[in-house]
């Protein structure tokens, strides 16, 4: 089953809601080069936790994407 990228982003954000982490998407080309398309920040530390995030792999790590699902990028 193919899941859209926006649906996976919503699933990840719902999962991270109880933590101090936030999933962010790079806005400009320069930020995308520095941080990747998606990155995770810690609100309390005000720091990047993960740069150049592989959305599908991170979703599987969090348990929001099942084995039979894949991300349509």
Q: What is the pLDDT of residue 72?
A: 85
Block residue for tokens 């899941």: 3
Crossing angle, helix 5-16 and helix 55-62, to 10 degrees?
A: 40
pLDDT, tens digit, 9 for 90 and up, residues 7-55 = 999 999 999 999 999 999 999 999 999 999 999 999 999 999 999 999 9
Cα separation values, 54 from 44, 45, 47, 58, Å = 23, 22, 19, 6
d(CA 56, CA 72) in angstroms, rounded, equals: 9
């Amino acid at each position: 089953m193919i899941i859209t990228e926006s649906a996976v982003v919503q699933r990840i954000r719902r999962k991270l809601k109880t933590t101090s982490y936030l999933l962010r998407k790079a806005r400009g080309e320069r930020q995308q080069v520095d941080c990747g398309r998606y990155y995770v920040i810690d609100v309390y530390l005000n720091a990047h936790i993960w740069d150049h995030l592989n959305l599908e792999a991170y979703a599987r790590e969090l348990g929001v994407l099942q084995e039979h699902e894949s991300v349509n990028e």
